[in-house]
């Protein structure tokens, strides 16, 4: 029996907890031309399942007869890549229509632009894209563009600005972007992209702990592996509801478990579990923090208890309350910390406190 857990990034896992409703809702909303979900921003911390959700939605929409899905990367030639991808993914019937558009030529080798290189301006790309959308619309085909882990580059901003224009002209085009909260906020607050403030937003947060418990119990039972309730609770606590941790811990335990998972089994995988979390997620998370944010999380990590008071942080950092409030809000928005009660803070990610303290030994 193959391992049903998948800690690889980007692939839709076999066990996709608490996300089925989101995929179904968004897939249905996209088919309503008046839905605010025609433009959707999906945000959350690294490893929360944004890419898997986007992949699942893209697959479901691609399976529909009247939809064409293009997955864009944040690269230099966004518009050219989009046009090329549309042509490549179109059916033979649609390709014959696209081949009649002035400025492009389809062949067995792909798409060729009939403009000279110096003539390929953003305006020409816009005209080509509008002509392509006209051909698609004539066949009642809608276009869904997805951009994963969006970066607010000039090219992406230009494309989103053009997308707004295409929406105003009633083209059947939709856009879903995933990204870290701070990067999506930067796009939304751009002077010419404020229309994104009115787009639908989907926050991917922690998985339901009871769902994790039942999933572990049922999945391992299919392999004939017994787990006591106490061990199950310990497994769930180790994930802290973090989607990547749920997949990673399940994967590691599946690889070594025979007939029973005990506390000793958990201890056996603990080292690899923590090392993989640090290497694949936490290193990058810390690297992206500003110097002040970094000082904030270090002060939290050094606190004697998992839950830290703002009064303690104010004393440790030697900063006034209003100064800390700004960085507290940034880290809350980034979903790295949460506030379980007024004046209280704790990390959202499992073993993040331990990871910070361990690295301080080497890099302090």
SS3 of residue 186 by DSSP: helix
Q: Helix %, strand %, coil % for the chain, to 5? A: 55, 15, 30
Q: Where among 151, 184, 203 does a domain terminate?
A: 203
**What was the pLDDT predicted at 108?**
53
- Taking a C-beta distance cutoff of 8 angstroms, is the pair 43, 201 a contact? yes
In terms of residue numbers, what domain contains 225? 209-285
* Contact of 353 with 308, CB cutoff 8 Å: no
Boundary-marking domain end, from 230, 262, 285: 285
Asked whether residue 257 is assigned to any structural domain, the reply reads: yes
Instruction: Name the helix (H) or strand (E) containing 255.
Output: helix 243-256
In a domain, 358, yes or no: yes
- Inter-CA distances, 214 with 170, 210, 218, 232, 249, Å: 46, 6, 6, 9, 15
CA atoms within 13 A on the CB side of 72: 29
Q: Which of 143, 163, 145 is nearest to 73 (CA)?
A: 145
pTM: 0.87
Residue 250 lies in a domain: yes
Phi/psi region, residue 79 (left: phi>0; alpha: psi -120 to 50; beta: rest), is: alpha
- Within a domain: 1: no
Residues 267 and 359 in one domain: no
How confident is the model at residue 118, as a pLDDT?
Answer: 43
28 and 51 co-located in one domain: yes
Task: Quote the CA–CA distance of 5 and 14 in Å, as a whole number.
Answer: 7
Q: Which 3 state secondary structure label does DSSP give 242? A: coil
In a domain, 8, yes or no: no
Per-residue pLDDT of the chain (364 residues; tens, 9 = 90+): 899 999 987 677 788 877 888 899 999 999 999 999 999 999 999 999 899 899 999 999 999 989 999 999 877 788 888 988 888 888 888 878 777 776 666 555 555 555 544 445 566 778 888 988 999 999 999 999 999 999 999 999 999 999 999 999 999 999 999 999 989 999 998 888 989 988 999 998 889 999 999 999 999 999 999 999 999 999 999 999 999 999 999 999 999 988 999 999 999 999 999 999 999 999 999 999 999 999 999 999 999 999 999 999 999 999 888 888 999 999 999 999 999 999 999 999 999 999 999 988 765 5
Domain boundary (233, 264, 285) is at 285
Domain count, the chain: 3
Q: Which residues, listed in sequence order, are joined to residue 346 by a DSSP beta bridge?
A: 338
Contact residues for 140 (Cβ-Cβ < 8 A; gap 6+):
66
Same domain for 258 and 238, yes or no, is yes
Same domain for 300 and 221?
A: no
Q: Determine, yes or no, domain membership for 54.
A: yes
Rounded to whole angstroms, how far apart are CA atoms 296 and 334? 13
In a domain, 6, yes or no: no
Same domain for 176 and 51, yes or no, is: yes
Location of structure tokens 């880290």: 331
């Amino acid at each position: 029996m193959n391992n049903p857990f998948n800690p690889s990034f980007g692939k839709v896992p076999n066990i996709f907890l608490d996300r089925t409703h989101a995929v179904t809702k968004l897939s249905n909303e996209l088919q309503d031309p008046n839905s605010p979900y025609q433009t959707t921003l999906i945000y959350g911390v690294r490893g929360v399942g944004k890419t898997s959700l986007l992949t699942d939605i893209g697959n479901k929409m691609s399976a529909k007869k009247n939809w064409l899905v293009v997955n864009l990367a944040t690269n230099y030639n966004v518009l050219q890549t989009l046009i090329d991808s549309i042509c490549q993914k179109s059916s033979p019937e649609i390709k014959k229509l696209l081949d009649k558009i002035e400025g492009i030529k389809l062949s067995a080798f792909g798409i060729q632009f009939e403009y000279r290189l110096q003539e390929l301006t953003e305006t020409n790309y816009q005209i080509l894209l509008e002509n392509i959308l006209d051909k698609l619309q004539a066949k009642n085909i809608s276009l869904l563009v997805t951009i994963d882990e969006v970066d607010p580059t000039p090219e992406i901003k230009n494309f989103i600005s053009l997308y707004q224009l295409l929406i105003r002209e009633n083209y059947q085009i939709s856009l879903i972007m995933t990204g870290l909260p701070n990067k999506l906020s930067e796009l939304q607050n751009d002077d010419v992209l404020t229309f994104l403030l009115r787009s639908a937003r989907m926050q991917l947060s922690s998985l339901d702990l009871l769902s994790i418990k039942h999933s572990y119990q049922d999945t391992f039972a299919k392999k004939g592996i017994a787990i006591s309730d106490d061990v199950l609770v310990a497994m769930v606590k180790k994930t802290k509801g973090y989607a990547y941790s749920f997949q990673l811990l399940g994967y590691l335990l599946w690889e070594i478990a025979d007939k029973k998972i005990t506390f000793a089994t958990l201890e056996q995988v603990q080292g690899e579990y923590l090392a993989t979390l640090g290497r694949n997620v936490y290193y990058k998370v810390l690297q992206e923090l500003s110097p002040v944010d970094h000082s904030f999380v270090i002060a939290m990590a050094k606190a004697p208890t998992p839950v830290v008071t703002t009064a303690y942080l104010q004393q440790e950092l030697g900063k006034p309350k209003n100064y800390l409030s700004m960085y507290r809000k940034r880290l809350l928005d980034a979903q790295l910390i949460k506030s379980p009660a007024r004046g209280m803070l704790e990390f959202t990610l499992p073993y993040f406190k331990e990871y910070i303290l361990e690295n301080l030994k080497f890099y302090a």
